Amino acid sequence: MVFFLNYKEPGTAIVPVGVKKFGKALNVYEFGVGTQVLKGVQGVQLRVRWGLSFEEEVQNNRGEVVGEVLGPRRGSFELDGLWVGDKVAAPGGLLRVLVGQVFQFEGMNFRVKEVTPMRANRDFHRVTLMGTATEGMDGSAGGNTLYVGNVFGNGPESGPTVDIYGVWTATVMRRVSAPVLQSAIPDLGDRHPRFNFLQFQGCGEVRTGRGYCEIPLIYKGLRVSPGPLRSRLSRTTSEEPIQTHPRYAGMQNLDAVMDVIEALRRGDLRLGITPGDATPDVFLTPLAFELYARIMRGNEAYLAAGETWTSVQYYNEPVGDTIDPGTISTPTGAPSYGDRNYLYTGMDLVEEGPGLIRAERTWLLSAPGGWDSTIYG
């Protein structure tokens, strides 16, 4: 990263040494008691948010663009402080007094754009200052700029972040001369400059400027393989024969009942009505007659509630399947339904990038009665 050096804007306040950063958030600063940030303002806490981009243009004091620079990050800030200046000017005059003021410390430059005053007591007012932040000096004079073409390389970073599957992602902005040469882009699988478990996956959208290109380099990876197991439940319906509905599935001599119904549908009137035949006793039960009436009306199937259970897990290398597809198996975390069970249908392996393999395993819930163990056991 390139910074402007040895430049101080006229009227800029320099915050004394001794400001402390705290916590894991490196963009949060806490000021000591009595630390003056601007004339009449004591600092309490400063919060800085940097943007993932290079500076594009620099202007002189007259607002004229004097060049394009590779250098300081820009962002926004919020400063909580105490106004202990002219009581006559506060709070109505705070905007007039503070807006446009600049303060610096630890190589950063802050320009006030907005002020929110809140009365505290007769001696001071609480204020929140908001504005722009620049890493390095302000660079508003042409003599202190470093122009594109002199320095290239890696710039700001974002991340790393991690998703629910344990996949970490980080982006590095790289500025190179245009046109982009193949040697300017890492090879797939190259390691991140700082996080060795992340590997280069590809580039984001390239932005082109005057004589240069900015390339987002995307790195992903697993700190621990395999990643956490995540599951997905899909509730569906499927068409099943009407005789398998729970109302009829437990009927005595169901197979014989269906034989009689099929014979009558074929027009074989002798079957089921001949005196002395044992079949009519089965056929003439009220439940059997109800089933017959439904089928004759064309109601031969019903929609049975079904379920697909899918588990997803990431690995950093190919993995084998520990369950044979087409066998009865109960997936981890799946709900149970009494006389229904699950059939493992197989696994899909997708290599999403170097060192990043997605394994997706699927189970199907059976109809009432379960999968036939003699076939799928």
Q: Is residue 8 part of a domain?
A: no
Q: Does 68 lie in the same domain as 23?
A: yes
Q: Which two tokens stand for residue 161?
A: 């972040």
Q: Is residue 227 part of a domain?
A: no
For the chain, the maximum distance between any two Cα atoms, rounded to a whole number of angstroms, is: 118
Q: Which of 185 and 271 is assigned the larger pLDDT?
A: 185
Q: Does 51 lie in the same domain as 135?
A: yes
Q: Does 161 lie in the same domain as 283?
A: no
Q: Does 120 lie in the same domain as 19?
A: yes
Among the candidates 195, 222, 249, a domain finishes at 222
Q: With bands split at pLDDT 50, 70 and 90, how would you rate the model's confidence at 2? A: very low
Residue 359 CA to residue 320 CA, distance in Å, equals 10
Is residue 340 within 8 A of residue 365, CB to CB? The reply is yes
Among the candidates 259, 277, 301, a domain finishes at 301
Residue 203 has pLDDT above 60, yes or no: yes
**Which of 43, 107, 109, 105 lies closest to 76 in space, CA to CA?**
109
Q: Does 289 lie in the same domain as 207?
A: no
CA distances to 140, 195, 211, 345 from 315, in Å: 50, 18, 41, 20
pTM of the model: 0.53
Residue 362 CA to residue 377 CA, distance in Å, equals 17
Among the candidates 273, 301, 329, a domain finishes at 301
Amino acid at 337: Y
pLDDT of residue 61: 58
Domain count, the chain: 4
Q: Is residue 7 part of a domain?
A: no
pLDDT of residue 126: 82
The number of beta carbons lying within 10 Å of the beta carbon of residue 197 is: 17
Q: Does 77 lie in the same domain as 52?
A: yes
Mean pLDDT of 260-289: 64
Q: Does 19 lie in the same domain as 80?
A: yes
The number of beta carbons lying within 10 Å of the beta carbon of residue 351 is: 11
Provide the β-strand partners of residue 203: 217
Q: Does 81 lie in the same domain as 176?
A: no
List pLDDT tens digits, range 308-357. Answer: 999 999 999 988 888 899 999 999 989 888 888 999 999 999 999 999 99
Q: Does 125 lie in the same domain as 75?
A: yes
For 42: left if phi > 0, alpha if psi spans -120 to 50, otherwise beta; the answer is beta
Residue 237 CA to residue 122 CA, distance in Å, equals 72
Q: Does 128 lie in the same domain as 78?
A: yes
pLDDT of residue 114: 87
Q: Is residue 231 part of a domain?
A: no
Host H or E run for residue 105? strand 102-105
Residue 300 CA to residue 294 CA, distance in Å, equals 7
Residue 45 CA to residue 28 CA, distance in Å, equals 7
Residue 228 CA to residue 225 CA, distance in Å, equals 9
Q: Does 247 lie in the same domain as 125?
A: no
Mean pLDDT of 235-263: 83
Give the distance, in angstroms, between the CA of residue 301 and the centroid of all CA atoms in the same chain: 43
Q: Is residue 269 part of a domain?
A: yes
Q: Is residue 280 part of a domain?
A: yes
Domain that holds residue 194: 153-222
Query: HSE-up of 279 (CA within 13 Å, CB side)?
Result: 17
Q: Is residue 230 part of a domain?
A: no
Q: Does 274 lie in the same domain as 212?
A: no
- Quote the Cα angle for 132-137-138, to 5°: 50
